[in-house]
Amino acid sequence: MPQSDQGNQPEIGSDTVIALRGIHKNYGSLEVLKGIDLTAKSGDVTALIGSSGSGKSTLLRCVNLLEVPQHGDIYFHGEQVKWRSGRGQRQPSDKNQVRRMRTNLSMVFQQFNLWAHLTVLQNVIEAPVTVLKKDPHEARLMGRQLLEKVGIGDKCDQYPSQLSGGQQQRAAIARALAMQPDAMLFDEPTSALDPELEAEVVRVIKGLAEEGRTMLIVTHDMKMAYDVANHVIFLHEGVIVEQGSPDEVFNNTRSARLRQFLQGAGTLG
């Protein structure tokens, strides 16, 4: 059976890190994504905005196959995810391909997801040692450097429960960076934090953007989307309603639905 549902789609350039073509995702009769196309080139910072239930987080989870779309194609560095059908459900057919792609796509979650029984440094180096087979001593040196990078180098030997929410999220970012990923996926990285702690995390994410890292960020924070991203996508009811540069999306809004959303978010007067 053919591997692709996409038909005639634009060619994927050599500088494209992530490409989605015609992504559809439903849960029973609920259609969450209705044919999404997305391209993230090397160095792009793409912010996904929209109201709750618009499909933002589901789309992000489809990128690294935490969710499997019923239709459409996913490409990583031009390599297409291979699919098979079994028991009436579509699944990736090459486990090694999925493992390789996920290794190069680090995800930062809303609720940090740190291992409570490990110190902060142990959290950071666990995957590089076990998955990438890095030398433990080298991994520890790298881990300490990354924790310094995100501003919590003095917390190496503490446990997650001893950290504030902002510190835990920065530890989670350091853990994601430790895998030396080609792209980073952020799912509402600041929504569980109060404004002061949120600012700490935004500074770290902005610094990563300035380094030229490829990132997809689902966020409720319109200021961060404006300041950090170079491309903003507004989703509504599983469809991309509007997209463009931050200036285009926030200051030259074309759709009534986006204008209504931004007014509700306090972004427009």
Judging by DSSP bridges, how do beta strands 16-27 and 30-41 pair with one another? antiparallel
CATH, domain 1-104+186-269, list 3.50.50.60, 3.80.30.20, 3.40.50.300, 3.40.140.10: 3.40.50.300
For the cut 60, the answer to whether the pLDDT of residue 269 exceeds it is no
**How far is CA 10 from each of CA 6, 7, 69, 167, rounded to the nearest angstrom?**
10, 10, 20, 42
Q: Give me the mean pLDDT over the 258-266 stretch.
A: 89
> Residue written as tokens 């319109």?
222
Start and end residues for every CATH 3.40.50.300 domain found in the chain: 1-104+186-269
For the cut 80, the answer to whether the pLDDT of residue 268 exceeds it is no
Which pLDDT value is given to residue 256?
Answer: 95
Least-confidence region, from 62-66, 72-76, 194-198, 253-257 = 194-198
The predicted-structure confidence for 12-34, as pLDDT tens digits, reads as follows 888 999 999 999 999 999 999 99
For the cut 90, the answer to whether the pLDDT of residue 162 exceeds it is yes
For the cut 50, the answer to whether the pLDDT of residue 6 exceeds it is no
- Distance between CA 141 and CA 129 in Å, rounded? 12
The predicted-structure confidence for 92-145, as pLDDT tens digits, reads as follows 999 999 999 999 999 999 888 899 999 999 999 999 999 999 999 999 999 999
Distance, C-alpha 69 to centroid of its chain: 16
Which pLDDT value is given to residue 12?
Answer: 83
